[in-house]
Amino acid sequence: MKTQFSILIPKQEVRRVDMYLSTLFPEHSRSYMQKLIEKWRLQVNGKVLDSNKRVKKWDVLEIEFETEKSHLQAEDMNLEIIFDNPDFAVVSKDPGVNTHTVPGEFGNTGTLVNALLHHFGNLSVINGVERPGIVHRLDKDTSGLILVAKNDRSMRELQKKMADRKIRKFYYAVVNGLVKDKEGMIESFIGRDPNDRKKMTTENPVNPKLAKTKFTLLEHIDNKYSLLEIELFTGRTHQIRVHMSAIGYPIIGDKVYGNEKVNKEIATKYGLERQWLHARRLILNLFSVDYNFVAPLKRDIAIVLEKNGIKVD
């Protein structure tokens, strides 16, 4: 499948064309753009471009992308749709479901993407044919809100807003321990654990990136745990789980960063077999319209609050 774009340079530019295009299409790297140039997939003013010349005002660029064919199948799975319009949708992911395909024999079935293809059909694939519509992701065992782009225009705009931190993301979490502060800000560098590449860490991380997390105490539970509202100011892998564990309040049920003894206690008492973490709210403006989305709690985590007399819609 091929996708073509024609672009008029509206102002004087001094960057090389590969740099200009990788800025215009941030989902593609400069090296990807260079390969397109080498394959004669880029024309400037009607002529094939065979080198990285500089673009100038009123140049017309014509670029042809090649998109590989997807082998993903649509699957009729349960999907909680919070919002849907011609540009984008908001869904509440179930726990135990991968957002998109993962390596392995059965890694391309039973994912959120398979469900999206069944319910919505064609979605934006500028993030790759294996991740149609996916603007951002959640961990497999985290439930809650995910944005889905239904066309390239909305995908570019949502990704830009996400990168510019103009989409506010709030989570509910239950952590081990009685948090004393009404609210707090955690700021540290997060990166791969040098001793286990599947884990992230704040201690001597590999390729560290700054991460900022704010928490607000909502309730104490059973004189052992705390219900928190958490806002992300950055979007690092496992950020909430790593940050809460780093300050001594790991999320209950977290098999990687949590307390094994507490996890067994929670599983026995409440039947909770995964981390108590739910993407609760998204606040954004898209195409000059303000949105505020809220996802009801999934049953498996709601029961922890209900048995302690705490009501959450």
Mean pLDDT estimate for the chain = 89
Residues 201 and 290 in one domain: yes
172 in the same domain as 280: yes
The pLDDT, as a whole number, for residue 11 is 63
| Whether 271 and 213 share a structural domain | yes
CB–CB of 6/62 below 8 Å?
Answer: yes
For residue range 68-103, list pLDDT tens digits in order.
Answer: 566 788 999 999 999 999 999 999 999 999 998 877
Q: Which of 40, 66, 92 is the last residue of a domain?
A: 66
**CB atoms closer than 10 angstroms to residue 45:** 10
Q: Identify whether 159 is part of a domain.
A: yes
CATH number where 176 lies? 3.30.2350.10
Q: How many degrees, rounded to 5, is the angle at CA 296 between CA 152 and CA 282?
A: 40
Per-residue pLDDT band for 122 (boundaries 50, 70, 90) equals confident
**Whole-angstrom distance between the N-terminal and C-terminal Cα of the chain?**
45
Residues with active-site annotation? 139
Q: Are 212 and 302 contained in the same domain?
A: yes
pLDDT at 309: 94
Are 89 and 182 in the same domain? no
Query: Which one of 14, 41, 66 terminates a domain?
Result: 66
Residue 81 backbone phi and psi in degrees, to 5 = -95, 120
Question: To the nearest whole percent, how much of the chain has pLDDT over 70?
Answer: 90
pLDDT at 239: 97
pLDDT of 1 strictly over 50: no
CA-to-CA distance for 242 and 228, rounded, in angstroms?
15
Looking at the fold, whether 54 and 87 belong to one and the same domain comes out as no
Q: Which of 38-42, 64-68, 191-195, 301-305 has the lowest mean pLDDT?
A: 64-68
Whether residue 312 is contained in a domain is answered as no
Q: Which residue has the higher pLDDT, 5 or 115?
A: 115
Name the domain boundary from 38, 66, 94: 66
Do residues 23 and 104 both lie within one domain? no
Compute the C-alpha angle 130/132/135, nearest 5°.
115
In a domain, 196, yes or no: yes
Q: Would residue 313 count as lying in a domain? A: no
125 and 156 in one domain?
A: yes
pLDDT digits (tens, 9 = 90+) for 211-269: 999 999 999 999 999 999 999 999 999 999 999 999 999 999 999 999 999 999 999 99
Q: Which pTM value belongs to this model?
A: 0.80
Question: What distances in angstroms separate CA 93 from CA 73, 145, 296, one per listed residue?
Answer: 18, 6, 11
* Beta-bridge partner residues of 189: 210
Q: How many domains does the chain have?
A: 3
Residues 252 and 266 sit within 8 Å (Cβ to Cβ): yes
The answer to the question of residue 12 being in a domain is yes
Contact criterion met (CB below 8 Å) for 70 and 113 = no
Q: Which structural domain range is residue 98 located in?
A: 80-163
Domain presence at residue 108: yes
- Residue 59's pLDDT is 78
In this predicted structure, what is the pLDDT of residue 234? Answer: 95
Residue 75 lies in a domain: no
Residue 155 shares a structural domain with residue 280: no
* Residue 73 resides in a domain: no
Higher-scoring residue by pLDDT: 62, 95: 95
In CATH, what number is assigned to the domain containing residue 39?
3.10.290.10
- For residue 96, CA distances in Å to 37, 110, 200, 236, 279 come to 42, 10, 20, 20, 14
Same-domain status, 157 and 217:
no
Question: What are the distances in angstroms from CA 308 to CA 52, 220, 227, 269, 305?
Answer: 64, 10, 11, 12, 5
Of the chain, the percentage scoring pLDDT greater than 90 comes to: 65
pLDDT at 123 over 80: yes
Instruction: Mark whether 14 and 112 lie in a shared domain.
Output: no
Same domain, 204 and 250: yes
